[in-house]
Structure 1
């Protein structure tokens, strides 16, 4: 596996601070440049990257804007078991109509609130995955697409 593909694959498992560093470096910025861009201190950015401090939602949004990505790209979810994943799916059921099928796959209840936006987002994700698998999109481009995806 190439270094770029390895970095793209492991970026999913990074902490928020590590994701800030990952996207900052991808943007070719120093900690000082990012700090200036988002009107924060360089030590503040460094402490976020090291995991010594956790940015607030407002700070996370500002950092994401400075990096040209969506704030959700910097948020990590600690889901380490099927039970925890099921809990998330229960939340998605209520918010977007995600429902289980007998064969273990998932569907979207078209009558649920948010179902159309969720279906549109999943179609876009499917298309990006197809481009990745066909070689039309690199691992790095796929990671960039996910970090900037917005409906």
Structure 2
């Protein structure tokens, strides 16, 4: 899942407006809007503050899963087939 989708989901669950999130992170409201619409990504230095603000782990924020999904495995196989 795109980081912007994750940010939007958990921001809304927290009952927070984009403006409030922006103010608390020291960024502009349009920056938060761009993240949520996948027009840009947050700076790496903001990842931990965003996760803390949304009360989620960095793994959740980055959509990290310990194991690959079937879809991810199939995509890797397709890429390897093209290479070889």
Q: TM-score, normalised by structure 1?
A: 0.42
- Give 1:70 shift: 1.6
1:22 to 9, 23, 27: 9
Are positions 1:41 and 2:28 aligned together?
yes
Q: Distance in 2 between matches of 1:62 and 1:33?
A: 14
Equivalence map 1:119-134=2 (5 Å): none
- Give 1:57 shift: 2.2
Tell me the equivalent position of 1:82: 73
Is this contact kept in 2: 1:34–1:67, CA < 8 A? no
Tell me the equivalent position of 1:140: none
Unpaired segments ≥5 residues, structure 2: 77-84
Q: Distance in 2 between matches of 1:48 and 1:20?
A: 8
Unpaired segments ≥5 residues, structure 1: 1-13, 85-151
- Give 1:81 shift: 3.4
Tell me the equivalent position of 1:31: 18
Q: Which has the higher contact order (CA 8 A, sep 6+)?
A: 2
Q: Distance in 1 between matches of 2:25 and 2:2?
A: 20
- Give 1:56 shift: 2.5
Q: TM-score, normalised by structure 2?
A: 0.71
- Give 1:37 shift: 1.4
Specify whether residues 55 and 82 from structure 1 end up closer, same or farther in structure 2 by C-alpha distance, changes over 3 A only. Answer: same
Is this contact kept in 2: 1:38–1:63, CA < 8 A? yes
> How large is the Cα RMSD of the aligned pairs?
2.3
